[in-house]
């Protein structure tokens, strides 16, 4: 980067001399410098063992439908040949898989066999209603080895919430979504205590993603080995199991 900046800086006086007195000298100089920098970038930036490209595959199970997918960000499939090979033939993936990512993301995926993996669960500990609010106390559980629990509340606005007694202030989130969301990392085997206050007479639905590291061996699916210039990014390949829990009003 320092060399590129130095070259551009050295070229500016030459371009000024060539364009001395012309009204369009400044735009011309800027355009020429931009073209020079792009050319240098095209000639010098290459993926290699030293500068690998990131990749991440997701084995995603929808426990409600028993469908399973091998998925990735659509941007990774466009940019990384190994991802395209691993997922071929792929289609646009289910929208719920994108909830795994922090922000909005298009997902591509292919159907794969469904393994009988443990599923997330909830236990309703209490459910009470006042004139203007419904208060829910829930225990949300993954299984042994769950790295994180992704919790999303749909079909009702969340007035306030707490996890294990700690209030959740979503106004401090870096990214804001339409639905109330929370990622709870390193849950104990007994799960987490989730307290929700929603409007009276509302019937929220909880979507729970149980996230664990690695992808199990899948029948009739062979993943090609990653080449040296492709590496797992962040926590690497992962498995997510999704379940949805409607919470109807108590009779």
Q: What is the pLDDT of residues 172-207, one digit of tens each?
A: 888 788 899 999 999 998 999 999 999 999 999 999
Least confident window among 107-116, 118-127, 139-148, 166-175: 166-175
Using omega within 30 degrees of 0 as the cis cutoff, is the peptide bond preceding 150 cis?
no
Q: What's the rounded Cα separation, in Å, for the pair 223 and 219?
A: 11
98 assigned to some structural domain: yes
148 and 208 share one domain: yes
Q: How many domains does the chain have?
A: 3
Contact 57, 68 (CB under 8 A): no
pLDDT given for residue 62 in this prediction: 97
137 and 206 share one domain: yes
Q: What's the rounded Cα separation, in Å, for the pair 130 and 108?
A: 44
- Picking from 126, 75, 133, the residue whose alpha carbon sits closest to that of residue 105 is 75
Strands (E), the chain: 53-55, 58-62, 67-73, 91-92, 107-111, 121-129, 133-141, 148-154, 160-163, 166-167, 180-185, 192-199, 205-213, 230-232, 238-246
211 assigned to some structural domain: yes
187 assigned to some structural domain: yes
227 assigned to some structural domain: no
6 and 58 share one domain: no
CATH number at residue 193: 2.60.40
How would you class 71 by CB atoms within 10 Å of its CB: exposed for 0-12, middle for 13-18, buried for 19 or more? buried
Residue numbers of the domain that contains 106: 53-111
């Amino acid at each position: 980067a320092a060399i590129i900046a130095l070259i551009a800086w050295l070229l500016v006086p030459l371009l000024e001399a060539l364009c001395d007195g012309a009204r369009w000298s400044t735009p011309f100089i800027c355009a020429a410098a931009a073209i020079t920098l792009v050319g240098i970038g095209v000639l010098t930036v290459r993926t290699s063992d030293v500068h690998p490209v990131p990749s991440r595959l997701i084995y995603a199970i929808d426990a409600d439908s028993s469908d399973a997918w091998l998925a990735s960000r659509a941007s990774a499939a466009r940019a990384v040949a190994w991802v395209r090979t691993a997922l071929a033939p792929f289609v646009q993936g289910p929208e719920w898989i994108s909830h795994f990512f922090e922000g909005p993301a298009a997902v591509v995926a292919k159907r794969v066999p469904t393994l009988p993996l443990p599923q997330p669960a909830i236990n309703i500990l209490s459910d009470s209603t006042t004139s203007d609010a419904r208060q829910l106390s829930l225990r949300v559980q993954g299984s042994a080895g769950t790295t994180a629990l992704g919790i999303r509340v749909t079909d009702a606005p969340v007035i306030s919430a707490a996890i294990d007694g700690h209030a959740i202030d979503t106004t401090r989130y870096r990214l804001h979504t339409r639905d109330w969301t929370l990622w709870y990392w390193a849950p104990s085997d007994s799960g987490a205590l989730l307290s929700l206050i929603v409007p009276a007479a509302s019937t929220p639905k909880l979507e729970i993603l149980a996230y664990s590291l690695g992808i199990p061996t899948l029948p009739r699916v062979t993943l090609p080995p990653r080449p040296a210039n492709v590496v797992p990014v962040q926590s690497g390949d992962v498995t997510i199991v999704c379940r949805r829990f409607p919470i109807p009003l108590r009779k």
